[in-house]
């Protein structure tokens, strides 16, 4: 195995090594996670008590917009791409990603995209203030001048995502080790291949939506302007045709991560491998035909409401298959509860809770009551924080010893887990109740009756944010030496090529020649 690696700043600027690029994606993602979290704390600070304390409504809306955009496009998606870069070549026995120069470019686009987005705070009129869904006409007729920076930033993010997805697909289909058939691939690789196809199909839709916004703003078109023969509701259709597959882009890789961690700490193979693959593919397919469940209040025909309601409830079936398989994997296993397993279990339990509130929202008459309330905010945060974020954290705890050759501090890892689980529930669970009682989202002031729930959420958010600084400390300590050297076989019973063929830490160039898969 080769060990030569460049040093200095040029190593990071010009690198084509999948591990270096994966590391940069993960650190960038964590910086964006803290940035988006700071905006969330700004929101919760305002909502700690009724009345306007810190922000005027325009600034408050800018914070909600930037929080959503940065968490989706800057924190969750780059984190998964970073994990894909690190793990996919090692798991399929490839020397590197198939398109290494494009890999470098797809990363270095991102700091400029988010630099554009964040610089909008300093422009006249302030940052975009129309919500992360940027509905027309709020974003076309009434958006501040910084909206154009936002449009260009979204285009850059889309280009980066498409390039990353192409790279994953080409790598997996062309560079698998001899003997590794599709149905022998690790689950993380499967979930990422399916995610990559989703990205390639939906990112151009988003690009079309923001391009039409741009021409509506500056070139006299009326795609979304009813006065010129356009239709603002068409914007919602286009956005959610991107937006609903997007939420599965943000969760499918976490399904793959859980499918590695749970078998390892259950000391059993994954139950129902092929059904997991088919369930993942089914979720991806169904995600394209449920988009208008976000739009039950726009006045669509009853037959349309009925269709989208039933299709949305059907998508719970393959998700239920996956949860059944994880539980069946643990059943009668020899379980131990190291930090990665704790985060994976919290992921399964809390993601299921978010899924149940999603089934509630799928029902049209019910959704018309819940629409645009904090119940919806509670639903998608239960899916995304314990889903995407806990999934990523579990992956870092699980694979970091293999990557750097050192063990993290297990005691601190468990402290991080228990604080995270307490604060995540303290933050988001009360939102169910304030939403059911009628509290609207994206509004900086509220009725006195919601004060207790909001105060609990704000305290929880502050605790949750501070807890992630502990995670930062644990990772840095592990990289710098941790609690001792990790053995070659880090977790007993682990599955996947990245464990069986490589020493710990993983060498700079993983494979000089592809391993044989029996």
Residues 503 and 489: their CA atoms lie apart, in Å, by 8
Q: Choose, from 148, 216, 246, 305, the residue flagged as catalytic.
A: 246
Contact 340, 394 (CB under 8 A): yes
Q: Is 357 a catalytic residue?
A: no
List 293, 416, 432, 501, catalytic entry: 293
User: CA separation (Å) from 205 to 51, 58, 235, 499?
Assistant: 39, 28, 11, 39
For residue 406, the cross-strand partners are: 485
Q: What angle do CA 277, 283, 287 make, to 5 degrees?
A: 150
Distance from C-alpha of 375 to C-alpha of 436, rounded to nearest angstrom: 6
Task: Specify whether 319 is catalytic.
Answer: yes
18 is catalytic: no
- CB burial readout 100-125, b (16+ within 10 A) else e: bebbbebbebbeebbebbbebeeeee
What is the rounded CA–CA span in Å between residue 206 and residue 212?
Answer: 10
- Pick the catalytic residue: 18, 44, 176, 244? 244
Catalytic residue among 35, 65, 266, 319: 319
Concerning whether 246 is annotated as a catalytic residue, the answer is yes
Is position 370 annotated as part of the catalytic site? no
Does the annotation mark 15 as catalytic?
Answer: no
Burial of 479 (0-12, 13-18, 19+ CB in 10 A): middle
Residue 98 tokens read as: 């198939």
Contact in structure between 153 and 113 (CB atoms under 8 Å): yes
C-beta of residue 225 within 8 angstroms of C-beta of residue 216: yes
Please pick, among 237, 371, 414, 441, the residue that the annotation labels catalytic.
441
Distance in angstroms (rounded) separating the CA atoms of residues 335 and 331 = 9
Residue pair 155/228 in contact by the 8 Å Cβ criterion: no
Q: Which of 140, 146, 160, 427 is catalytic?
A: 160
The reply to whether 5 belongs to the active site is no
Q: Which of these is catalytic: 96, 148, 305, 338?
A: 96
Q: Give the three-state DSSP class for 485.
A: strand
Catalytic residue among 55, 132, 307, 508: 132
Catalytic residue among 106, 259, 280, 467: 259
Of 473, 470, 475, 481, the residue nearest 505 (C-alpha): 481
Residue 485 has φ and ψ, to the nearest 5°, of -75, 140
194 touches 157 (CB < 8 A): no
Catalytic choice (86, 190, 240, 248): 248
* Range list of H helices, 175-272: 187-218, 232-249, 252-266
Q: Is residue 96 among the annotated active site residues?
A: yes
Concerning whether 293 is annotated as a catalytic residue, the answer is: yes
Active-site residue, 274 included = no
At 373, give phi and psi (nearest 5°): -105, 175
Nearest CA to 185 out of 265, 276, 297 is that of 276
Clarify whether 67 is annotated catalytic. Answer: yes
Quick check: is 161 catalytic?
yes
Which of 19, 67, 381, 416 is catalytic? The answer is: 67
Active-site option among 44, 260, 268, 294? 294
Q: Which of 106, 161, 427, 434 is catalytic?
A: 161
> Among all residues, which ones are annotated catalytic?
67, 96, 132, 160-161, 244, 246, 248, 259, 293-294, 319, 322, 441
């Amino acid at each position: 195995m080769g060990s030569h690696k460049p040093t200095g700043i040029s190593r990071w600027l010009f690198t084509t090594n999948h591990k270096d690029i994966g590391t940069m994606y993960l650190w960038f993602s964590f910086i964006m996670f803290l940035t988006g979290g700071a905006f969330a704390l700004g929101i919760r600070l305002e909502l700690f008590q009724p009345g306007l304390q810190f922000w005027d409504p325009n600034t408050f809306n800018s914070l909600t917009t930037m929080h959503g955009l940065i968490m989706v496009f800057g924190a969750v998606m780059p984190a998964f791409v970073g994990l894909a870069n690190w793990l996919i070549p090692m798991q399929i026995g490839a020397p590197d990603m198939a398109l290494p120069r494009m890999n470098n470019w797809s990363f270095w686009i991102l700091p400029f995209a988010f630099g554009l987005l964040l610089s909008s705070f300093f422009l006249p009129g302030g940052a975009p203030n129309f919500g992360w869904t940027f509905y027309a006409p709020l974003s076309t007729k009434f958006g501040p001048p910084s909206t154009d920076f936002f449009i260009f930033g979204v285009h850059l993010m889309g280009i980066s995502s498409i390039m990353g997805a192409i790279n994953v697909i080409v790598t997996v289909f062309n560079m698998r080790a001899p003997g590794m058939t599709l149905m022998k691939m690790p689950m993380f690789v499967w979930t990422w291949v399916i995610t990559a196809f989703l990205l390639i199909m939906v990112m151009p839709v988003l690009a079309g939506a923001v391009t039409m916004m741009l021409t509506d703003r500056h070139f006299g078109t009326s795609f979304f302007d009813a006065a010129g023969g356009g239709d603002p509701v068409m914007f919602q259709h286009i956005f959610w045709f991107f937006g609903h597959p997007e939420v599965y882009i943000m969760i499918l890789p976490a399904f793959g991560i859980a499918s590695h961690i749970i078998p390892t700490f259950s000391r059993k193979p994954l139950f129902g491998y092929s059904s997991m693959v088919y369930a993942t593919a089914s979720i991806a397919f169904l995600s394209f035909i449920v988009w208008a469940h976000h739009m039950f209040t726009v006045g669509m025909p009853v037959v349309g409401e009925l269709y989208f309601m039933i299709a949305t409830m059907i998508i719970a079936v393959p998700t239920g298959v996956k949860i059944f398989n994880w539980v069946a994997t643990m059943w009668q296993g020899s379980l131990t509860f190291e930090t990665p397993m704790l985060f994976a279990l919290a992921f399964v339990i809390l993601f299921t809770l978010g899924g149940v509130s999603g089934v509630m929202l799928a029902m049209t008459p019910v959704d018309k009551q819940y629409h645009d309330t904090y119940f919806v905010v509670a639903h998608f945060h239960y899916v995304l924080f314990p889903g995407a974020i806990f999934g990523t954290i579990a992956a870092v705890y699980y694979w970091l010893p293999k990557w750097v050759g050192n063990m993290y501090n297990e005691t601190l890892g468990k402290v991080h887990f228990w604080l995270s689980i307490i604060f995540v529930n303290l933050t988001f669970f009360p939102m169910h109740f304030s939403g059911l009682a009628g509290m609207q989202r994206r509004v900086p002031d509220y009725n006195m009756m919601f004060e207790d729930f909001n105060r609990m959420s704000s305290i929880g958010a502050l605790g949750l944010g501070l807890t992630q600084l502990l995670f930062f400390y644990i990772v840095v300590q592990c990289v710098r030496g941790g609690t001792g050297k990790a053995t070659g076989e880090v977790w007993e019973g682990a599955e996947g090529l990245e464990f069986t063929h490589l020493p710990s830490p993983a060498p700079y160039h993983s494979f000089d020649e592809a391993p044989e898969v029996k």
